[in-house]
Amino acid sequence: MLYVIIGEDRPGTLDLRMSVRPAHLERMQILQAEGRIILAGPFPAIDSPDPGPAGFSGSLIVADFPSLEAAKAWIEDDPYTTHGVFEKITVKPFKKVMPA
């Protein structure tokens, strides 16, 4: 089943986010190689595809996991979580309707 994961960044963690990004992307690439990612990416903190020093306010992941518990466990082990980038995490079941 699909799950949406929304991680909200702790203020002032752009440098930390960037330092652990390679480890985060490594985990994301595993999900991608397994064909489990629907979409993923960060929320720019300002209305720009390249927010520069304004950074990001969080991230969104929509991916296939065997259960809600598995999705929660996956994000709890993510470097953005374990290193304190994410201040708040929301994980919910998701039903994709479009595109079909």
Q: How confident is the model at residue 100 (pLDDT cuts 50, 70, 90)?
A: confident
Q: How confident is the model at residue 70 (pLDDT cuts 50, 70, 90)?
A: very high
pLDDT digits (tens, 9 = 90+) for 77-97: 999 999 999 999 999 999 999
Q: Mean pLDDT across the chain, nearest whole number?
A: 97
Mean pLDDT value across residues 3-8: 98
Break the chain into its structural domains and give their ranges: 2-94
Class level of CATH domain 2-94: alpha beta
Q: Please report which residue ranges of 5-97 form alpha helices under DSSP H.
A: 14-33, 68-76, 79-82
Q: What is the pTM of this model?
A: 0.95
Adjacency order of strands within the sheet including 56-64: 37-44, 56-64, 2-9, 86-94
Other beta carbons within 10 angstroms of residue 86's beta carbon come to 23
Mean pLDDT value across residues 44-69: 97
